Structure 1
Amino acid sequence: MKRVHAFTDDALGELDGVGIAERIAAGEISSDEAVEAALARIDKVNPVLNAIAFDDRERARKRAVDNDFPHGAFAGVPSAIKNNTEYAGLPTRYGSAAVSDRPATANEAFTDQFLATGVNIVGATTLPAFGLTATTEFVDREPTRNPWDTDYSAGGSSGGSAALVAAGALPIAHANDGGGSIRIPAAACGLVGLKPTRGRTAPAKETKDAPIDLVSNGIVSRTVRDTARFIADAERIRPVGDLPPVGLVEGPGARRLKIALVTEPLTGQLLDRETHKAVTDIAELVETLGHRTEMVPLPVDRAYVRQFIDYWALLAFALDRTGKRLFDKGFDRKQLDGLTRGLSRHCLRHLYRMPSSIRGLRRATAAFRSLHDQFDVILSPTLGHTPPEIGYLDPGVDFDEAMDRLTRYVAFTPANNTAGTPAISLPLAQSTNGIPIGIQFAADLGDEKTLLELAFELEAARPFARIQDA
């Protein structure tokens, strides 16, 4: 096992983002000390993890010295932004050599929302090409590695953010989720990963006008309270009138929940032994806490898998054929990786059925949400099997083989993206070789509060494994 972490006795210590913000506010450390500690940690682990797409340390240092931060929940706390989200002054390359390195001239909406929480962005984090797969691997450069064991995938598409947070280089980092891309790397790297309800946070620029907007912005963190504080602050900064307010959740709720236990993936395969044991163990744990669980199948036709792939392929087709308009004139489609080209070709071959696939996804949303007529929460594994070694999901392998492996792995997360419902991955289990196993809890539209209350309860009942203790 090749474990890598950066925890040490510096200004950040073993604190989460809330803890660091409190120390800065109390004058116990300065934001300058915090950012220097974070940069030293990044320099220690990034040569192995390959999680930084663009370094922006000099601007971060200047902000820290000037103490130039909004009065948000994370004022002065070092963080990073995923490199598919425009941040003025840095190139936004979406993990692909096809996109030019022209710096963004303005922030997109979520960037402003994230900055308003007070974070000090030290750089941009890696993602696979256009976030189209569940591992942060590339055809033209070294992969982003999992700090729990660098032979393993860090997940994707927010793999760079997850690797840095799990390794202790940063307390929190931006992530976004269009098919599981917050929850998958959170599961692989042993983190808390909440995909908010569609519209809870500012939408992603590239998908906000799509027929079904799959993408939600959020963060990955090591503690439930960091995620809860982020959601509360994001809501303060950008109130959403058509969703129930979440407010600041600070601990478990009193209400006992009725929970649907789902262990059969839509793909029809059986779970691997360790994932099955992990999810059934957590079902037993929630029962001991007074909640009720009942095993149910997802009320969604297996055609959903094909329909989601069709729609996912449509996104790849759009950037393949209209990249110069979507990005800039420097876009070079000859530099697209095999997975992106394969998805684009899939779309072209099956374009005739796209309207029916979109209708099918919308029907699946109604069926999926109908579970909440009977259940408060849906409990499942985050992933179809334990995180794989580097290379298993390599975007350069045969397209059909890559898609078969990908759909087996990403078997539980996409339904929440098409439905727009919130879901959280919690690091409640580990494999026999010490790799994290994420457990997912999902709720109905707007009900992040229930998920966060349950997450606080489970974090207390089964404290999350710490990489520095292993």
Structure 2
Amino acid sequence: MKLTEYVHHDATGLARLVKTGDVTPLELIRLAREAHDEINPRINAVIEFYEDAETVSGADGGLFHGVPFLRKDIGATEAGRLQEKGSRLFKGCRPNTDSYLFRRAREAGLRTIGRTTTPELGTSGFTESFLTGITRNPWNMELSAGGSSGGAAAAVAAGITPIAHGSDGGGSIRSPAAWCGLVGLNPSRGRISGGPNNQDASFGLSRAFVLCRTVRDMAAALDVFSGPYPGDPFVIVQPNCPYVAELAQPAGILRVGLARTKWGEIDVEPEVLSALDSTAALLEEMGHIVTEIEPPCEPAERKKLRFRILNGLSQLGAASLESAARTLGRAINADTLEPINLKFYEWSRDSQVFSLGDLDDALRSMRFQVGEAIYPFDIVLTPTMPTVALPHGDVYSTTNPTLTAEEFRDASEALYQYLGVFNVTGHPSLSLPLAQSHSGLPIGLQIVGRFGDEATLVRIARDLEEARPWDQRRPGMRAGAPQVNR
């Protein structure tokens, strides 16, 4: 197999070729390395391609049968491998815990061959840090790949691997999926276990999954990574059949809530709104019932609740950083934390001690208000992001020394207005690359399902992919192709 052929296939397609003997897992790893060596110096998405990648373990078989995989450098861990969280504070750290997610990856035949960039501590939606530099969007090198799974998204979009690990605590899978032209699902709370030592992370706000290019890869990944483990705080309703089998099932007639109005302080760009309207019209042509909905929270109430949530999480995060710093024998200062994260730490350390009950009440209140507002609908259609990909830095980077913590928080809250609410509620939410701007940039639209109902998302996403296929739309900066920067 040549590199130009490798980058054409999704993970499911490569797995089938391994199964039929047309290619071997070793050949795929060598092709991934070739793709990495060609493209990564330009986009800076992979911070470590394992020296022993050709000998990494993985089942001979499983749904993914030897397909190369990448790990985001925060969240789920591989025992003994570096995990630095994009931060100088954690430079050189090697966890001794193997996350269930990577155990399942190996059992399914995925071969984890390296780790991808993330902003420091996953705080920002722009993947740039003092430790690893700027990750560039393969569609336009002057623009952000999103975050905090921006390295994973850029690597998949550019063809290094067809699928990569990501995590989402406020939009960190869906945002880079939207800006890099990928499929990005944030599963229901509890669908993917964070065990053995991080179940229900951040009060259930953060979930791990993957970024990929096709709906069938997403369905297969759900089958691989779903399922409870001992220590999980609750067991979510389990699917009636494998998710890959849902690809053959009809979607039925769905009640669709359409979010045309902004949910934050940034207006939705006209091209994004046009893509939203066009997709709503397509859903109506398919026979679904589309109804416009208002924002599920009043802006002032939403901002108040988000402040209470972020205040509580920041203070818990500050305590966790102090504990980690003591263990590592390092100080928390400007040499170990970037400007915005240091300001958050100092603000949280010096603030009045929060009440855990207040945090729980704010989470409960937002879950109730949003859940009640969207309950009449089988799915909700929103923009993923109100804009196409934005330039690097500015008010969205934790490396910016001129911003206050409040300015950074408010800017981020406005930009990710359609995303973080569903981390709080736990609903599964999926970004699909359903359109492009006039300048050729991807436009992602978000479909939100009922809690625990990833099956409906698989079926409707399949229908939309068939009606408006996107797999042949590729960025100019990709492996095996003449390199262009728009």
CA shift in 2, pair 1:70/1:416, >3 Å: farther
CA distance in 2, matches of 1:51, 1:313: 31
Asked if residue 24 in structure 1 is aligned to residue 14 in structure 2, the reply is no
Letter in 2 for 1:74: F
Corresponding residue number in structure 1 for 2:295: 298
Task: Provide, for residues 355-399 of structure 1, a one-character-per-residue CA deviation record: whole Å limited to 9, x for no partner.
Answer: 435412211112212244311001000112222111232223313
Task: Provide, for residues 7-58 of structure 1, a one-character-per-residue CA deviation record: whole Å limited to 9, x for no partner.
Answer: 9434x24110001011111111011111100110011111111111322141
CA distance in 2, matches of 1:385, 1:346: 30
Asked if residue 259 in structure 1 is aligned to residue 256 in structure 2, the reply is yes
Asked if residue 395 in structure 1 is aligned to residue 398 in structure 2, the reply is yes
CA distance in 2, matches of 1:205, 1:96: 24
Letter in 1 for 2:332: R
Alignment of 1:121-200 (within 5 A): 121-200=112-191
- The total of aligned residue pairs comes to 459
Aligned to 1:179, what secondary structure does the other structure show? Answer: coil
CA shift in 2, pair 1:101/1:366, >3 Å: same
Aligned to 1:9, what secondary structure does the other structure show? Answer: helix
Shift of 1:75: 1.9
In structure 2, which of residues 51, 61, 82 is the aligned counterpart of residue 71 of structure 1?
61
Corresponding residue number in structure 2 for 1:61: 54
* 1:82–1:158 CA contact under 8 A, matched in 2: yes
Q: When the two structures are superposed, what TM-score results if normalisation uses the length of structure 2?
A: 0.88
Letter in 2 for 1:410: Y
In structure 1, which of residues 34, 41, 51 is the aligned counterpart of residue 45 of structure 2?
51
Corresponding residue number in structure 2 for 1:93: 84
* 2:177–2:184 CA contact under 8 A, matched in 1: yes
Name the stretch that deviates more: 209-218 or 283-292: 209-218
In structure 1, which of residues 441, 453, 456 is the aligned counterpart of residue 459 of structure 2?
453
CA shift in 2, pair 1:44/1:206, >3 Å: farther
Asked if residue 222 in structure 1 is aligned to residue 213 in structure 2, the reply is yes
In structure 1, which of residues 426, 436, 439 is the aligned counterpart of residue 432 of structure 2?
426
Asked if residue 9 in structure 1 is aligned to residue 4 in structure 2, the reply is yes
CA shift in 2, pair 1:101/1:140, >3 Å: closer
CA distance in 2, matches of 1:8, 1:468: 15
CA distance in 2, matches of 1:306, 1:349: 17
CA distance in 2, matches of 1:416, 1:26: 41
* 1:155–1:184 CA contact under 8 A, matched in 2: yes
* 1:304–1:361 CA contact under 8 A, matched in 2: no
Aligned to 2:277, what secondary structure does the other structure show? Answer: helix
Asked if residue 275 in structure 1 is aligned to residue 275 in structure 2, the reply is no
Q: When the two structures are superposed, what TM-score results if normalisation uses the length of structure 1?
A: 0.91
Corresponding residue number in structure 2 for 1:333: 332
Letter in 1 for 2:397: D
In structure 2, which of residues 418, 422, 437 is the aligned counterpart of residue 416 of structure 1?
422
Shift of 1:252: 5.7
Asked if residue 83 in structure 1 is aligned to residue 73 in structure 2, the reply is yes
CA distance in 2, matches of 1:233, 1:352: 39
Shift of 1:171: 0.5
Aligned to 2:328, what secondary structure does the other structure show? Answer: coil
Corresponding residue number in structure 2 for 1:3: none
CA distance in 1, matches of 2:149, 2:112: 16
* 1:16–1:226 CA contact under 8 A, matched in 2: yes
Aligned to 1:212, what secondary structure does the other structure show? Answer: helix
Corresponding residue number in structure 1 for 2:468: 462
Shift of 1:256: 1.3
CA distance in 1, matches of 2:185, 2:159: 19
CA shift in 2, pair 1:201/1:322, >3 Å: closer
* 1:317–1:345 CA contact under 8 A, matched in 2: no
Name the stretch that deviates more: 344-353 or 458-467: 344-353
Letter in 2 for 1:267: G
Moved segments of 4+, more than 6 Å: 236-240
Letter in 2 for 1:44: E
Shift of 1:210: 5.7
Task: Provide, for residues 121-150 of structure 1, a one-character-per-residue CA deviation record: whole Å limited to 9, x for no partner.
Answer: 110111111111111012454211111111
* 1:316–1:341 CA contact under 8 A, matched in 2: no
In structure 1, which of residues 252, 275, 287 is the aligned counterpart of residue 284 of structure 2?
287
CA shift in 2, pair 1:177/1:277, >3 Å: same
Task: Provide, for residues 256-299 of structure 1, a one-character-per-residue CA deviation record: whole Å limited to 9, x for no partner.
Answer: 11100112233244312222112112111111111111111132
* 1:95–1:129 CA contact under 8 A, matched in 2: yes
Aligned to 2:4, what secondary structure does the other structure show? Answer: coil
Give the fraction of aligned pairs with identical amino acids, expressed as a percent. Answer: 29
Asked if residue 407 in structure 1 is aligned to residue 398 in structure 2, the reply is no
CA distance in 2, matches of 1:40, 1:319: 39
Aligned to 2:143, what secondary structure does the other structure show? Answer: strand
Unmatched 5+ stretches in structure 2 = 477-486
* 2:297–2:369 CA contact under 8 A, matched in 1: yes
CA distance in 2, matches of 1:345, 1:278: 42
Letter in 2 for 1:111: F
Shift of 1:309: 4.2
Shift of 1:308: 2.5
